[in-house]
């Protein structure tokens, strides 16, 4: 209400609104206002309650698993899922947030139930099929409930099933880890950028957080290059399997383009980066103190750090263009992490212990100050600029 009052006072002073219209707006907002001071407590309580409920159910089932017959186990699993979803239906009208929590726990518990049923009847092992069934259950929840939590589960589980199927078939080949990380990185880039303008803020928040962390983890793994897997005696990844991986990544980028057409340029930049990083290695001669000999070793090249930093700049610039503070902050933060990563990996050992610590302190103080100034300027330009 305070922000509404501030805007009303500004508009009345500018002559955009008269006093009578402003009073009507105040009355309407006062009637619609909810106790914001209690909303976050309720959400935290529901979230923790859902997590604790799911954990308690799993512990109860695990504790009594050996004491019941296979049919009783199946009945217990079905009763658990039915109780959760029926409870959600019972409180839908009176407490929608509670219904969302119960249905969400039911969808998460469905994954455990699928694994339990497979174990009960000793079904043939093909674990990606369990992920597929879990994704289908989440998709059914999305279709029936139109709930943001079900949307999040579907968007996470459906590509996870495709990646698991590919990984299951490619696991016997050397170098499949690189393509696996590439697929995860491209998916993370799409989820990071494609939902910035969605009205489902919970979907954007969860996907942005998950994809942001995944992208930060995938980039260093790709920078390790192909030599990390050179010791494996498996056959190299066949061309057909690589084509399937590239097709999955292309479909992921196309899906992001359908959701947010303006996300295509930075997504393509990330796609090109993840394909280039494993090749940007340099060979150095490392001295062994025990054998008193030097051996060739590979490490991340300078061009890889430059390319990762450039991608962070691209993300920050795209965030300014799209007026997305989250993407701007992520781009600036990713650039800072890249600089620190480069310092620890390539410079600190060459400077010595004391000079390395001094340089690290200067990097944190001066670099942090400069990046914060840059971030604030970008946010200010984003606010003052016209919408994209």
Most confident of 173-177, 251-255, 329-333, 383-387: 251-255
- Could you tell me which residues are beta bridge partners of residue 174? 236
pLDDT recorded at residue 11: 76
Q: Is residue 311 a part of any domain in this protein?
A: yes
Give the count of beta carbons closer than 10 Å to the beta carbon of residue 29. Answer: 13
Q: Is residue 349 a part of any domain in this protein?
A: yes
Query: What is d(CA 102, CA 23) in angstroms, rounded to the nearest whole number?
Result: 41
Q: For residue range 185-228, list pLDDT tens digits in order.
A: 999 999 999 999 888 888 999 999 999 999 999 999 998 877 65
Q: For residue range 13-39, list pLDDT tens digits in order.
A: 777 777 778 777 777 766 554 444 445
pLDDT recorded at residue 288: 61
Q: For residue range 332-379, list pLDDT tens digits in order.
A: 899 888 888 887 777 766 666 656 666 666 666 667 677 777 777 777
Q: What are phi and psi of 283, to 5 degrees?
A: -100, 125
Higher pLDDT, 177 or 7: 177
pLDDT recorded at residue 348: 67
pLDDT recorded at residue 2: 46
Higher pLDDT, 157 or 106: 157
Higher pLDDT, 105 or 275: 275
Mean pLDDT of the chain: 79
Most confident of 104-108, 201-205, 273-277, 301-305: 273-277
State yes or no: pLDDT of 299 exceeds 70. yes
Q: Is residue 231 a part of any domain in this protein?
A: yes
Q: What is the mean pLDDT of residues 295-312?
A: 83
46 class by beta-carbon count within 10 Å (0-12 exposed, 13-18 middle, 19+ buried)? middle
Q: Distance of CA 362 to CAs 212, 332, 344, 347, 376, Å?
A: 27, 18, 14, 14, 21
Q: Is residue 164 a part of any domain in this protein?
A: no
Q: Is residue 225 a part of any domain in this protein?
A: yes
Q: For residue range 260-294, list pLDDT tens digits in order.
A: 999 999 999 999 999 999 888 776 656 566 666 66
pLDDT recorded at residue 35: 46
pLDDT recorded at residue 219: 93
pLDDT recorded at residue 386: 46
Q: How confident is the model at residue 65 (pLDDT cuts 50, 70, 90)?
A: low
Closest CA relative to residue 61, chosen from 103, 107, 101, 119: 119
Q: What is the DSSP string of 310-362?
A: HHHHHHHHHHHHTT-HHHHHHHHHHHHHHHHHHIIIIIHHHH-HHHHHHHHHH
In the numeric block, which tokens belong to residue 146? 């139109």
Higher pLDDT, 384 or 323: 323
DSSP code of residue 67: G
Q: Are strands 173-174 and 235-236 parallel, antiparallel or unpaired?
A: parallel
Higher pLDDT, 24 or 316: 316
pLDDT recorded at residue 74: 75
H or E element: which one contains 236?
strand 235-236
pLDDT recorded at residue 145: 87
pLDDT recorded at residue 387: 42
Q: What's the angle, vertex CA 59, arms to CA 53 and CA 65, rounded to 5? A: 135
Q: Is residue 371 a part of any domain in this protein?
A: yes
Q: Is residue 23 a part of any domain in this protein?
A: yes
Q: For residue range 139-188, list pLDDT tens digits in order.
A: 998 998 888 889 999 999 999 999 999 998 888 888 888 999 999 999 99
Q: Which domain holds residue 16?
A: 1-35
Higher pLDDT, 44 or 302: 302
Number of domains, the chain:
2
Closest CA relative to residue 345, chosen from 316, 313, 305: 305
Query: What is d(CA 274, CA 243) in angstroms, rounded to the nearest whole number?
Result: 16
Q: Is residue 111 a part of any domain in this protein?
A: no
Torsion sign across C-alpha atoms 49, 50, 51, 55: positive
In the numeric block, which tokens belong to residue 222? 């790709």
Which has the minimum average pLDDT: 55-59, 136-140, 212-216, 310-314? 55-59
pTM: 0.78
pLDDT recorded at residue 100: 81
Q: How confident is the model at residue 64 (pLDDT cuts 50, 70, 90)?
A: low
Q: In this prediction, what percent of the chain has a pLDDT beyond 70?
A: 73
């Amino acid at each position: 209400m305070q922000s509404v009052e501030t805007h009303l006072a500004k508009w009345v002073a500018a002559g955009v609104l008269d006093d009578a219209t402003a009073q009507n707006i105040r009355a309407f907002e006062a009637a619609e206002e909810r106790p914001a001071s209690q909303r976050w407590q309720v959400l935290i309580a529901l979230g923790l309650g859902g997590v604790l409920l799911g954990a308690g159910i799993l512990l109860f089932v695990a504790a009594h698993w050996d004491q019941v017959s296979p049919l009783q186990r199946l009945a217990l699993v079905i009763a658990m899922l039915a109780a959760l979803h029926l409870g959600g239906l019972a409180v839908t009208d009176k407490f929608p947030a509670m219904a969302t929590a119960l249905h969400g726990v039911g969808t998460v518990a469905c994954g455990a139930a699928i694994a339990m049923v497979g174990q009960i009847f000793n079904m043939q092992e093909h674990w990606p099929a369990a992920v597929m069934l879990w994704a289908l259950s989440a998709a059914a929840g999305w279709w029936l409930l139109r709930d943001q939590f079900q949307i999040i589960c579907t968007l996470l589980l459906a590509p996870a099933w495709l990646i698991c199927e590919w990984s299951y078939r490619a696991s016997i080949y050397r170098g499949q880890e690189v393509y696996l990380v590439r697929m995860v990185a491209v998916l993370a880039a799409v989820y990071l950028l494609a939902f910035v303008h969605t009205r489902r803020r919970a979907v954007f928040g969860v996907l942005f957080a998950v994809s942001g962390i995944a992208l930060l983890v995938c980039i260093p793994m790709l920078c390790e290059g192909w030599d990390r897997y050179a010791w494996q005696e498996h056959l190299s990844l066949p061309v057909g399997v690589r084509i399937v991986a590239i097709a999955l990544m292309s479909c992921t980028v196309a899906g992001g383009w359908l959701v947010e057409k303006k996300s295509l340029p930075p997504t393509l930049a990330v796609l090109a980066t993840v394909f280039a990083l494993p090749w940007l290695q340099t060979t150095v001669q490392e001295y062994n103190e025990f054998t008193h000999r030097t051996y060739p070793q590979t490490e991340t090249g300078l061009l890889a750090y430059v390319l990762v930093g450039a991608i962070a700049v691209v993300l920050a610039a795209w965030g300014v263009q799209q007026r997305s503070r989250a993407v701007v902050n992520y781009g600036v933060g990713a650039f800072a992490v890249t600089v620190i990563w480069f310092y620890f990996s390539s410079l600190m050992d060459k400077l010595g212990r004391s000079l390395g610590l001094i340089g690290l302190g200067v990097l944190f103080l001066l670099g942090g100050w400069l990046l914060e100034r840059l971030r604030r300027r970008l946010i200010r330009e984003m606010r003052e600029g016209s919408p994209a």
